[in-house]
Amino acid sequence: MTLPTLDTAAIGQPITRLGVSFFPVYLPGNRLPRISAGPDSGLVVGELDNPSVPHLKAENPTDAPILVIEGEHFLGGLQDRTANATVLVPPHTTLEIPVTCLEAGRWGARPTGTRSGATAARH
């Protein structure tokens, strides 16, 4: 990867929050990568090998990064959960993501047929 020289960069208007200013730097020809999100992204979400309420395993088998957005729901597995933070899962990577339960008091497999495609291991 090569970086353009800064003499061709443009400095944007400052963004100030709590007394700190950030200046965006715009580089010519800078292309953003394609990022996938949502149910058709290819992300595989499941329980960890040693399942725990506050974490899920997110596997990205695709060639593009996948964005998990804070508040996204993962239904199924041992318990329905929601993402605690926005996480970018790089291509061909498995990460542990922080989540919060949506169903206090339930931890275990669902009865068969309660949700389409849901199993004890996958969301």
Cβ pair 56, 45 in contact under 8 A: yes
Q: Tell which wins on pLDDT, 33 or 45.
A: 45
Say if residues 111 and 90 touch (Cβ distance below 8 Å). Answer: no
pLDDT reported for residue 116:
45
Phi-psi region of 63 (alpha: psi -120 to 50; beta: other; left: phi over 0): alpha
- Which neighbouring-strand residues pair with 83? 99
Strands 66-68 and 36-37: parallel
pLDDT in tens, 55-100: 999 999 999 999 999 999 999 888 999 999 999 999 999 999 999 9
Q: How many CA atoms lie within 13 A of 56 on its CB side?
A: 30
Domains and CATH numbers, the chain: 36-101 (2.60.40)
Average pLDDT estimate for 7-36? 84
